[in-house]
Structure 1
């Protein structure tokens, strides 16, 4: 037997104490708190953000005593009614199509484990790399036995995020001729938040230095390679692509690579997002100083460079 129970209708006095919000109604929203659409400001852990019940809490926040409070140090962001805080320093959060620079940490059957500055190691499958004999060639058992001739522990590579596994690990691929093992340069690590999503993350500076801006915060600075040497199926040379030996680099190029790397470290220390124009201005200023490359890392010189660049902007 089914019985129905009726609930008492709230009285008028009780309904007056209840707060209801319609998506199109801005009830008691304090817009003077600095949460206009698209507004960004810095906050610290434990700082109250808003007490308005019209907002929803997002990542990096929690609610205490009807207040939305920041749980991390970062930038406050608002999207419609959602308030969130993007942490200043956090692990890289990958997306499909991202360009990343990583380091091989382990060689496993038919796959490599790659440190990509994320929450867990990425995976590069043997079927997702270019091998001698053509891009579309099937991977054989002989290829699996020679995996360390292609990538071994400690090798650096640039790849693209292809997909994600069930456990959240990202799957990489190096099928493009612009991807693969990295040589003739050095690695610079910066917070991932400083790398913006650009149309191209391969930059060629006039000083003869090529930059690969990995969205995971790993930047590769190397000597310039002509565009014709990077593209074209006919130019695919397995020995050169998977070689562990660097090319001959003249002293001027070595100085340029070191100078660009130190400039990136200075900009990262001041938490300034990296752009090609900013790097060019900083490089021109560093050349005008006519000092040693290592002197750029001194605090006073770094502060002077940042002040000069800021004045130009």
Structure 2
């Protein structure tokens, strides 16, 4: 037998402009709905652990790395809390780099193949740099010839480091890179530091220059390149660029002061990354200025008591537990 039952219509008071309101929504939750990003960051820690209650599920929607239990959004992984409007997600600290089109990455050439290079980008699979996606001698965008394919190792070979931009994705999910600008290309005169990709914040520019004469490239894939400062005028001039200088494997002469500055910056980054501090230009600059004021040895930055001072020298140290 088939029976029909009618369900009571929801009260009209719980609907506003076609959006259903939770019947248990009180004044405190309604105020939470109007929180801006700064208030959210100041009211909670940037780092969270599995099982920690982040916020109310009535005020926010859960995203990746979270679940709902007893009307609360709970973190399911250890990582940093991120918010986009009313969507709350947790970005895991220990995870592979998840690329997006337009990302700036630092990678290492692992294999030279016909008309392409394989690049280790700290992702789930190697990236691909096509021969048609690099700058060739002459500075003119032209069709790549067979002679260019025979000279691929004069541009990049196994072990070379480069900075590139994510251009697209292949059908299997592999990244397609390009270095069609002189701000991209082979890296020299520096040192590579690896940190968890989740600690690299998206900035207006990932090419930073510190007052100590050190250039930083913050790759979103967790690879950071620290090198001596190169004047902007030396990188300009797309037409007829010097291919020997751009694709050279020989490092320039680096004075002792620059070497010390590069080592000091790399130690600061290692200290901050060990304590899961997000890396931004302001945090790195504050930490470096404090380290210079101490006038200590470069290796002293790795001592435990100095580590605490480096972490506390930032203005937002209250969100980190040392």
Distance, in Å, in 2 between the alignment partners of 1:302 and 1:162 is 39
Distance, in Å, in 2 between the alignment partners of 1:120 and 1:149 is 25
SS of the counterpart of 2:248? coil
Question: 1:219 aligned to 2:189?
Answer: no
SS of the counterpart of 1:163? strand
Structure 1 pair 133/235, CA: closer, same or farther in 2 (3 Å)? closer
Partner of residue 111 from structure 1, selected from 109, 116, 119: 116
Number of the residue aligned with 1:279: 284
CA contact (8 A) 1:192 1:215 kept: yes
Gaps of 5+ in 2: none
Per-residue deviation, residues 41-81 of structure 1 (Å, max 9, x unmatched): 44322446678578654211346788754321124455566
Distance, in Å, in 1 between the alignment partners of 2:278 and 2:85 is 26
Structure 1 pair 170/7, CA: closer, same or farther in 2 (3 Å)? farther
TM-score (norm 1): 0.84
Per-residue deviation, residues 263-302 of structure 1 (Å, max 9, x unmatched): 1111222222223333233222222322221121112112
| Residue-pair matches, total | 304
Structure 1 pair 178/77, CA: closer, same or farther in 2 (3 Å)? closer
Q: How does 1:74-89 map to 2 (within 5 A)?
A: 74-77=79-82, 79=84, 82-89=87-94
Question: 1:28 aligned to 2:24?
Answer: yes
Distance, in Å, in 1 between the alignment partners of 2:59 and 2:309 is 45
Q: CA deviation at 1:142?
A: 1.6
CA contact (8 A) 1:96 1:161 kept: yes
Structure 1 pair 309/59, CA: closer, same or farther in 2 (3 Å)? closer
CA contact (8 A) 2:75 2:90 kept: yes
Which entry has the higher C-alpha Rg, 1 or 2?
1
Question: 1:259 aligned to 2:264?
Answer: yes
Number of the residue aligned with 1:192: 197
TM-score (norm 2): 0.82
Number of the residue aligned with 1:295: 300
Question: 1:206 aligned to 2:211?
Answer: yes
Number of the residue aligned with 2:139: 134
Question: 1:269 aligned to 2:274?
Answer: yes
Gaps of 5+ in 1: none
Per-residue deviation, residues 195-252 of structure 1 (Å, max 9, x unmatched): 2222221111121111111111111111111111011124611111111110111111
Distance, in Å, in 1 between the alignment partners of 2:289 and 2:73 is 45
Structure 1 pair 209/47, CA: closer, same or farther in 2 (3 Å)? closer
SS of the counterpart of 1:228? helix
Question: 123-132 or 40-49: which moved more?
Answer: 40-49
CA contact (8 A) 2:139 2:239 kept: no
Distance, in Å, in 2 between the alignment partners of 1:204 and 1:173 is 23
CA contact (8 A) 1:102 1:115 kept: yes
Structure 1 pair 146/43, CA: closer, same or farther in 2 (3 Å)? same
Question: 170-179 or 114-123: which moved more?
Answer: 114-123
Q: CA deviation at 1:100?
A: 0.9
Structure 1 pair 312/85, CA: closer, same or farther in 2 (3 Å)? closer
Distance, in Å, in 2 between the alignment partners of 1:11 and 1:305 is 62
Number of the residue aligned with 1:242: 247
Distance, in Å, in 1 between the alignment partners of 2:201 and 2:316 is 22
Number of the residue aligned with 1:9: 5
Per-residue deviation, residues 145-181 of structure 1 (Å, max 9, x unmatched): 2211211111100011111112221111000011100
